[in-house]
Structure 1
Amino acid sequence: MNNRNLIFTALALCLSLTSPAQVLFEDNFEGDSLDMTKWNHEEGDGCPNLCGWGNNERQIYSRDYLSVEDGKLVITAVKDGDKYYSAKINSKDKMEFQYGTIETRLKLPQGHGIWPAVWMLGTNIGEVGWPASGEIDLMEYVGREPHTIYSSLHTPASHGDTENSKKTFIEDIEEGYHTFKTVWTKDDIQYYIDGEHVYTFTPKVYDEEHYPFRHPFYFLINMAVGGNFGGPEVDDTIFPVKFYVDYIKVTQE
C-alpha cells in the first residue's frame, strides 16, 4: 500500500470513529399540539379485551388530558366524581425501530397511587401476544415508593413478571427534570439515570424466551392510576397531578 492509500485509510478510520450518531427519531414537543405523524392516542379503559389495561388500573384514558405546552408533553391525571382520567400515547406503525440509544428527560408527578411510565413493546404483539413480544420499561415510577425508579424488562421466561429489574433510590428524583437513557443492543440492555449507569440486563440464554428483544419495538408514554403495581390504594387528595416529558430521542451509531 502506497503512502496516499495509507493516508486515505487513516482518514476514513478517523471519520468512522468521530462521525456523529444517526438520529432515528426525535420529538421535542414544540408547538401547541401533539405531532400525529409520530404518535397515536390510546383511549378508554381497555375493555372489553383488556379491562383495566391488564393491571386492574382505575383510569380512563382520553386525549383531553394530554397537552403540549412550552416545549413539553404534559399528561394530567384527575379525579372527576368517582372516575379517574389520564392520557396515553404510542408510536405504533409510526416510529418503530430495532436497537439504539433512547434518551428522555422527564419531570415526575408525586402522590400515592400514580404510575407514570415511558416504555416499549415489540411490534409483533398482535401476532404473538404479551409477554412473548417483550417489554422494555425505560422508566417507571410509582408514587407509593418515593425516590425510587424502576428499570425493568418483561420476558416469556419470567412469565411477564418483573424479575429482570433494578430499583434505584434517588433522594431528589421528584425535584425538577431528570434524564433517563437506555442503550439497547442485540446482546444486552443498559440503563442510565442522569448519566450514571444503574443496571445492565444480560440474559442467561439468547432465545425468544429469555431475550425477546431482537426485533422492532415502539414507544408508549402514559400515567396510570392505581392498579396492581401503582396501587391498589389511591390518595384522592393528590389530584390533579402532571407528568412532563421534555423530549424523547433515538440514535444509532
Structure 2
Amino acid sequence: MKRLSVLLLLAGITATAQVKKGKVVWEENFDGKALNEAVWNYELGNGCPDNCGFGNAEKQIYTKTNHKVANGFLTITTKKEADTYTSTRITTKGKKEFKYGYIEARLKLPVGKGIWPAFWMLGADIDKTGWPLAGEIDIMEYVGREPHMAYATLHTKETHGEHANGKKTEFNNLEEGFHVFGVDWTKDKITFYVDDKPVHSFAPKEKTQEIWPFDKPYFFLLNVAVGGYFGGMEVDDSIFPQEYVVDYIKVYSN
C-alpha cells in the first residue's frame, strides 16, 4: 500500500509538471528549399547608423547568405571571414504575430566563447512605443562563455537590460543534440520551459504597461550574435564556423 501511494504521488507530480498544449495554431517546419518570405524578414548589416552593434556592441554583420533551408531544418552558420563575423537574423514582424499561447522551438545550439544564439519575441508595436516599453520575451538565449546555462528572460520598462526579469538554469547536456525551448503565455502569467521542465515564471498582480506589456501581439526573431555586452567581449576565433539548427517552431492554443 505504501509503494502504491508513492507511485500515485510520483504520477501526480509528473502530471502537474506536464506542459499543457492545445491545438496547433501555427507551425514552421522549414520544409522547403528556402525561407518563406511571406513569413520571414531579413534584418541585415550591423545595425548602423541608428543602432550600431544592435545596442549591445555586437560584432557580427547579418547577411542573406549565412543560412540554408534543407531536409526540414533551418541552419544558421556563423563565420569568421577575414576581420568580419557574419551571421543571420530573421523576424516574422508584420507577417506572423501572436498574442498568448504555448510556443516552442526545437533547437541545436552553436557553442564556444563569444557565440550568442537566441529565439525571442518583441512587441509588434515596437516602432511606435520603442524598447523596452514594447516588451521582449527571450524564450531561449545561450552564451558560449557560460556552458550548460539556458537563459529565459523578460524585458519590460520596469525591469530591462542588466536588471531584466529572468533566470538561467543549468543543463549539463545543453550542448548535446536538440532541445525544446518553450513559453506558456496567458493573460495572467508567463512560464518558460526547457525540455518540458519549467524554469522561470512571472505573474505580477499589478499589470501596468511598464510591468506587463504582454497583452498584445508579438513577433518572432531567430539569430546568432557574436560578442557584445551579453555574449562577451572576448571571442574565440578558433570556434568558427558554428551552426545553429532549427527543427521547428510551433504555436499552440492554451
- Report the TM-score, using the length of structure 1 for normalisation: 0.90
Cross-structure match for 2:171: 170
Q: 2:247 corresponds to which residue?
A: 246
User: Does the 8 A contact of 2:41 with 2:93 survive in 1?
Assistant: yes
Q: Percent identity?
A: 53
d(CA) in 2 for partners of 1:245 and 1:112?
21
* Pairs within 5 Å for 1:136-147: 136-147=137-148
CA distance in 1, matches of 2:87, 2:38: 22
C-alpha distance in 1 between matches for 2:94 and 2:122: 12
**Aligned-residue CA RMSD in angstroms?**
1.2
SS in 2 for 1:63: coil
Q: Deviations over 1:19-49 (max 9, x none)?
A: x833222100112111111111111000010
Tell me the distance in 1 between the aligned counterparts of 2:224 and 2:74: 12
SS of corresponding position for 1:137: strand
**2:96 equivalent to 1:95:** yes
| Pairing of 1:61-210 with structure 2 (within 5 A) | 61-210=62-211
- Counterpart in the other structure of 2:43: 42
The aligned counterpart of 1:7 is none
> 1:28 maps to which residue?
29
Whole-Å separation in 1 of the counterparts to 2:214 and 2:136: 8
TM-score normalised by the chain length of structure 2? 0.90
What is residue 9 of structure 1 aligned with on the other side? none
CA distance in 1, matches of 2:188, 2:22: 19
1:204 CA drift (Å): 4.9
Q: CA separation in 2, counterparts of 1:229 and 1:160?
A: 10
* Alignment check: 8 A CA contact 1:130 1:160 kept: no
CA offset digits 1:75-115 (Å, max 9, x no partner): 11101111100000000011011101101100011100000
AA of the residue aligned to 2:137: I
Please state whether the residue corresponding to 2:144 is helix, strand or coil. Answer: coil
Letter in 2 for 1:96: E
Give the conservation status (yes or no) of the 8 Å contact 1:134–1:212.
Answer: yes
The residue type equivalent to 1:138 in the other structure is I
In the alignment, which residue of structure 1 is the partner of 2:227? Answer: 226
**3-state SS in 1 of match to 2:173:** coil
- The letter for the 1-side match of 2:252 is T
Q: Structure 1 stretches of 5 or more lacking a match?
A: 1-19
Contact 2:154 2:160 in 1 (8 A): no
Unaligned 5+ runs, structure 2: 1-20
Q: Is the 1:153–1:162 Cα contact (8 Å) retained in structure 2?
A: no
Q: Is the 8 A contact 1:204 1:210 kept in 2?
A: no
SS of residue matched to 1:52: helix
Code of the aligned partner of 2:75: V
* Amino acid of the structure 2 residue aligned with 1:211: W
User: Alpha-carbon deviation of 1:63?
Assistant: 1.1
Runs of 4+ in 1 over 6 A off after TM superposition: none
Which one is further off, 187-196 or 56-65? Answer: 187-196
Q: Is the CA contact 2:107–2:247 (under 8 Å) kept in the aligned structure 1?
A: yes
Letter in 2 for 1:248: I
1:3 aligns with none
Equivalent-residue separation in structure 2 for 1:24 and 1:199 (angstroms): 24
Q: In the TM superposition, what is the alpha-carbon distance from 1:159 to its structure 2 partner?
A: 4.3
Return the letter of the residue paired with 2:157: P
- Partner amino acid for 2:204? P
Contact 1:118 1:139 in 2 (8 A): yes
